[in-house]
Amino acid sequence: MAEKRFKYVILGGGVAAGYAAREFANQGVKFGELAIISKEAVAPYERPALSKAYLFPESPARLPGFHTCVGSGGERLLPEWYAEKGIALILGTEIVKADLASKTLISAAGEIFKFHILVIATGSTVIRLTDFGVQGADSKNIFYLREVDDADKLVEAIKAKKKGKAVIVGGGYIGLELSAVMKINNLDVSMVYPEPWCMPRLFTAGIAAFYEGYYANKGIQIIKGTVAVGFNADADGEVKEVKLKDGRVLEADIVVVGVGGRPLTVLFKGQVEEEKGGIKTDSFFRTSVPDVYAVGDVATFPMKMYDEMRRVEHVDHSRKSAEHAVKAIFASEVGKSVDEYDYLPYFYSRSFNLSWQFYGDNVGATVLFGDNNPSSENPKFGSYWIKDGKVVGAFLESGTPEENKAIAKVARVQPPAESLDQLAKEGLTFACNI
């Protein structure tokens, strides 16, 4: 097959790819210089929509409605946009070999792509129970959610199993968002996870107690401290039961598994320096290989605020790292430089009528403030994290845009906290006065 040559190639078709493409256009990329190679069949889109609005029974989100870059209030980049800009969208194309030394990518179909500069934006893949040989994990109607195709299959199952039983395996982002959306679809929902409380990587016991209580009030059964060890299927191969380690058996018409992801770095093993499970980069997302950049979930980069190397799996970082890398590429081509990436960690989630935001670092002592009674009509509460006498992290449920900006400022400025009791008493006022 004939080689295709591009000055710039973005490998991956997720959020980071879309935001990188927009920045390439802003920087004046020339017609025919840039290609995006993605194994998905659609142009880059805002992935968070899949676990939220895509599954709503009323007015569900559908493409082209959530192509990038609408997630941050920008223009929707439809396939026609790429064509107008002379950006090659090479979709439905899986790259199976990458030779960074010879600047070559080879697809499953044997196509050869040559690049001068590569932006690795391969993101993460979901961890599957079949990877661990869990009995019956290959049964029908066991779902994972990463791509539009996954969401489409889940939508069909929800329609087919009206008022059926759904078991959500995992108590993180996907577990909480999917449990909520399944309940909105009138399914009987159980959520199973091994940890002592939900979202343990971020939530304190106090924060988690609110969400567990709120979900229980909505009729969702929460089963903690155990894991799914097997699945029973009927004669058609459809899942019917989830077997738990503690001996319990749950009826199930639909199972959704959300137990985490892994950065997709396998193509580059042994070719680039790695750290903390990702591809090691500098503050401009340059890897150890010249002309190769890595952004989003796959990048382990210097977190300037905390003076340490970190890898961040979140849409906000995917957007911002992609834009920063492209600015750095263009600056270096004309002998200039851009500022170092100075990222403030930011996470958020929405489910039911709830919406929380978190900024900063969740280390040190914590205080809880506000109304965190799950039975309240309008609950509103938050938490601060305090380390070395400074507030380093802030969480807020049901904040206004101004209040969310205030907690972001607290996490960035890291003001001193005289006393934990005083901080708990002041609550949101403390942030609003910074």
- pLDDT tens for 389-424 read 999 999 999 999 999 999 999 999 999 998 999 999
The reply to whether omega before 198 is within 30° of 0 (cis) is: no
Question: 230: closest CA among 133, 126, 127, 131?
Answer: 133
Range 197-210 average pLDDT: 97
Task: Give whole-number Cα distances, 401 to 52, 293, 355, 359, in Å.
Answer: 20, 34, 11, 14
- Report the distance separating Cα 349 and Cα 90, nearest Å: 32
Q: What is the mean pLDDT of the chain?
A: 97
Return the number of other C-beta atoms located less than 10 Å from residue 91's C-beta.
Answer: 16
Whole-angstrom Cα distance, residue 116 to residue 58?
46
What is the helix (H) or strand (E) element at residue 301, kind and residue range? strand 299-303
CATH 3.30.360.10 assigned to domain 129-259? The reply is no
pLDDT higher than threshold 90 for residue 352: yes
What's the CA gap between 335 and 270, in Å, rounded? Answer: 30
Percentage, residues of the chain above pLDDT 70 = 100
When pLDDT is averaged across residues 247-270 and rounded to a whole number, the result is: 97
Does the structure show a pLDDT above 90 at 255?
yes
Domain ranges of the chain: 3-125+262-333, 129-259, 353-432
Check: CB of residue 5 under 8 Å from CB of residue 88. Answer: no
Q: What is the pLDDT of residues 12-57, one digit of tens each?
A: 999 999 999 999 999 999 999 999 999 999 999 999 999 989 999 9
Write down the pLDDT at residue 418: 85
Q: How far apart are CA 136 and CA 213, in angstroms?
A: 31
**Contacts of residue 266, Cβ cutoff 8 Å, sequence gap at least 6:** none
Question: pLDDT-derived band of residue 66, with 50, 70 and 90 as boundaries?
Answer: very high
pLDDT at residue 381 greater than cutoff 80 = yes
CATH, domain 3-125+262-333, list 3.50.50.60, 3.40.720.10, 3.40.228.10, 3.40.50.720:
3.50.50.60
The strand pairing partners of 117, in sequence order, are: 8
**pLDDT for residue 175 is more than 90:** yes
Q: Across residues 49-69, what is the average pLDDT?
A: 95
**Token pair listed for 50:** 């899949």
Judged against a pLDDT cut of 90, whether residue 1 lies above it is answered with no
Measured CA distances, 371 to 375, 376, 397 (Å): 10, 8, 10
Question: For the chain, give me the number of helices (H) and strands (E)?
Answer: 9, 26
For position 119, what pLDDT does the model report? Answer: 98
- Type of residue found at 154: L
Residue 366's beta-bridge partner residues?
385
Residue type, 305: M
Distances in Å between the alpha carbon of 93 and those of 32, 41, 297, 381, 382? 18, 8, 20, 46, 45
> 129-259 and 353-432 share one CATH topology?
no
Q: Which pLDDT does position 2 carry in this prediction? A: 77
Q: Phi then psi for 371, rounded to 5 degrees? A: -95, 100
What architecture is the 353-432 domain classified under in CATH? 2-Layer Sandwich (3.30)
- Averaged pLDDT for residues 270-279: 98
Residue with tokens 């400074």: 390
Coil, helix or strand at residue 280: strand
Q: ω before 194 within 30° of 0 (cis)?
A: no
Write b or e for each residue in 30-43: b if 16 or more Cβ atoms lie within 10 A of its Cβ, otherwise e: eeebbbbbbbbebb
> Residue holding tokens 């320096």?
273
